[in-house]
Amino acid sequence: MSKVTVYVGLDYHKDSIQVCIMNSTGQVLANRRCHNQVEALVKLVATFSDDVQAAVESCSGAAALADELVARHGWSISLAHPGYVARMKQTPDKTDWTDARVIADLVRIGYLPKVWLAPEQVRDLRRVVRFRQDLVRQQTATKLKIMALLREHRVVIEGTRWTKKWLEAVTNLAELPGGTRYILKRHLQGLTRLSDEIAKVEAQLRKMTANDELVAKLMQQRGIGAVTAWTIRAEIGRFDRFHTGKQLSRFCGLSPRNASSGNRQADAGLIKAGNPGLRTTLIEAAHRLTRYDVRWATFKAKQRAAGKPGSVIAAAVANRWVRWLFHQMQPAAWEGAA
């Protein structure tokens, strides 16, 4: 078997994979489609070499494929950032043939924009955390529908919303039309179901992270509860994969985007990067910090005095706090954390 290194670009699809195999000079040795089966893929590449440097665009199923190729066949494979790969193409046309060739060429010259290949343990935790986030979004949407019905009928119920007493008052509203009462009843039943489901998911998350050292360390930090710790663990994974706190903050989508040109220097809001659920969770943590931590409360007061709106202040606190957290989580990444 040849020991000459080949560079392989994989364009992943549900039923098939477009495979481009390239040598060190950039010559395309093969660019063909094969079944989405590891054995078929390995057999095709093995006809050229068993020394493989490969990459596949990050998408649903790609991480599992990469894990199997590394564990069972010893491949060196990376996940590629789809957005950056698309910008590097030299043609507006999109075909599987060119996509696979571009990825292979980027691997060959060392310009591949990589995405972290999280371990299966972290990916599994990430699925459950995102499942909980989806349930919370459904819960919020249901509450908004209930409030919209009450507002439509000009119903005002005294007391703190969503407490047991408040919900009982909504349930017992007799002056509403029959159809509206029916809808309210269904929404309230859905709200109860969602609350129970969220509680079950949180119990599962506690079980999954019971022995996780990184989650335990995160929960020792002021302003971080279980939900925040689970989200950080699932989406960030480990802190030693970042070189600086600034790099971590940009990954979380908390850094302002520079929009300068010539003599004009300006910011254009937060960068459009990172997982939206992670950014939301960190900004919520920032709001808590400005209430309970003297340092951040003082910072908020100064920004308020300068005329900054609350949303901008919360983002600024989250940005600075995440950079601080990066250093608190050192030395790198906790031996024992995946």
Q: What is the pLDDT of residues 7-66, one digit of tens each?
A: 999 999 999 999 999 999 999 999 999 999 999 999 999 999 989 999 999 999 999 999
pLDDT at 193: 97
Residue 316 has pLDDT above 90, yes or no: yes
Residue 296 has pLDDT above 90, yes or no: yes
Helix axes 276-292, 120-152, angle to 10 degrees: 70
Rounded to the nearest integer, the mean pLDDT of the chain is 91
Peptide bond into 256 cis (omega under 30): no
Q: Across residues 196-201, what is the average pLDDT?
A: 98
The alpha carbons of the chain give a radius of gyration, in whole angstroms, of 25
User: DSSP for 56-121?
Assistant: EE--TTHHHHHHHHHHHH--EEEEE-HHHHHHH-SSS---HHHHHHHHHHHHHHT---EE----HH
| % of the chain surpassing 90 pLDDT | 79
Residue 257 has pLDDT above 90, yes or no: no
Tokens 């098939």 locate to 16
Which two tokens mark 170? 């909504």
- The answer to whether 319 touches 254, Cβ cutoff 8 Å, is yes
pLDDT at 92: 78
pLDDT at 266: 60
CB atoms near residue 231 (< 10 Å): 27
Locate all alpha helices (DSSP H) within 209-272, ordered by sequence.
Answer: 213-218, 226-235, 245-251
Residue 333 has pLDDT above 50, yes or no: no
Report the C-alpha gap between 283 and 277 in whole angstroms. 10
Q: What is the pLDDT of residues 92-134, one digit of tens each?
A: 778 999 999 999 999 999 999 998 999 999 999 999 999 999 9
Residue 261 has pLDDT above 80, yes or no: no
H-helix or E-strand spanning residue 325: helix 310-328
The residue type of 320 is R
Residue 310 has pLDDT above 60, yes or no: yes
Quick one: pLDDT band at residue 175, thresholds 50, 70, 90? confident
| % of the chain surpassing 70 pLDDT | 94
Q: Cα-flanking dihedrals φ and ψ of residue 55, to 5°?
A: -155, 150
**Contacting residues for 219 by C-beta, under 8 A, at least 6 apart:** 225, 226, 229
Torsion angle of the four alpha carbons 154, 156, 162, 167, in this order, in degrees rounded to the nearest 10: -90
pLDDT at 332: 46
Tokens 């481009």 locate to 20
Report the C-alpha gap between 239 and 249 in whole angstroms. 11
Sign of CA pseudo-dihedral 43, 48, 52, 55: negative
The residue type of 17 is I
Q: What is the pLDDT of residues 208-242, one digit of tens each?
A: 999 999 999 999 998 899 999 999 999 999 999 99
Residue 192 has pLDDT above 50, yes or no: yes
pLDDT at 336: 45
Q: Which CATH superfamily is domain 5-115 in?
A: YqgF/RNase H-like domain (3.30.420.140)
pLDDT at 267: 67
